Amino acid sequence: MQDNNGFVFYDPYEQPPEPPKKKKKESKPIVMTRKKLFSFALVVILLAGSLSFGGTYLANHLTGGSGDNPSTSADSTGFDLQDATGSKLSVQEVADKAGDSVVEIRTESVSSDAWVREYVTEGAGSGVIIKSNGYILTNNHVIEGASSITVTLANGKEYSAETVGTDSANDVAVLKINAKNLTAATLGNSDQMEVGDMAVIIGNPLGTLGGSVSAGIVSSLNREITLDDTVMNLIQTDASVNPGNSGGGMFNEYGQLVGIVVAKSSGTDVEGLGFAIPINAAAASATEIMENGSIDSNTDAPQEQYSEEGYFFNDGNDSLFDSIWPFSNP
């Protein structure tokens, strides 16, 4: 209240006047055009990509990695042996990936009997393309003594093959056909194999069933087997192996070539025992053969049809016409 002198007094029981309220500013809606939205999204994508690249670079820098598929370069083989990395494949995927690298091999050998009459013995086996320009890895016993060798690719094309050289002690041979741009197998590192790993066999069983696939596991490693009086350290598998599979490929779950099929166990009551040369050993022999030709061996005696240990080992040809059945000691 105000007195006569113009002073203002407030009644303590009277509520003080409320201060004037400020008017709230009305918020304007955010309007984003298509152009602005696209620009914003582009910035977010670029920022995310930069962070991802930076993280990958930092991880590789700290771990010493390169970001590429790692491989083990084994000087003794002359080949880059790929590490077992990546996603594991099914048997079907392994067959699709590796099937074109496996070939059929047919041989003809001319022999004479006691009356100097000549006759032709036919044989069959398998091989694996290891170079896209026509180099093929197989067993020595598949082509030994052959006067002519014919190679049939997975697409049905046939080629006459020449023998580059052999290593009879390790039962390895290298052939060459006049072809280019072939599908070569990816060589794995057999030193990294473990018991229980997948084992896929691709070859030409019975000499008439080219491209056949069988699968199992690695049953044992470094198995000492005596073949033709030579002790070899082989990979044991329970995958089906038959005459004609010799020289074919054993592939792992990544589609990598890890072995060259060499023998099957014999005996009417024995099944599920096949053997392969580890690719590290076979590749080392193949490299020396391609560089220097055949590798000398101290054993000049002809190979026997069966070894003393009861393992099937042909006499120079995986022949369908020789007495190779049954798988038992004579």
Half-sphere exposure of 163 (CA within 13 A, CB side): 21
How far is the C-alpha of 52 from the C-alpha of 57, rounded, in Å? 9
Q: Tokens 């491209």 — which residue?
A: 211
Two structure tokens written together for 278:
């580890």
The SS3 of residue 213 is: strand
Backbone angles phi, psi at 316, to 5 degrees: 110, -20
DSSP code for 280: H
Active-site pick, 100, 101, 126, 141: 141
DSSP code for 24: P
Contact 312, 319 (CB under 8 A): no
Question: Is residue 300 annotated as a catalytic residue, yes or no?
Answer: no
Question: Is residue 246 annotated as a catalytic residue, yes or no?
Answer: yes
DSSP code for 23: P
Active-site pick, 219, 246, 265, 285: 246
Active-site pick, 171, 197, 315, 318: 171
Question: Is residue 307 annotated as a catalytic residue, yes or no?
Answer: no
Two structure tokens written together for 230:
């030579």
Active site residues per annotation: 141, 171, 246
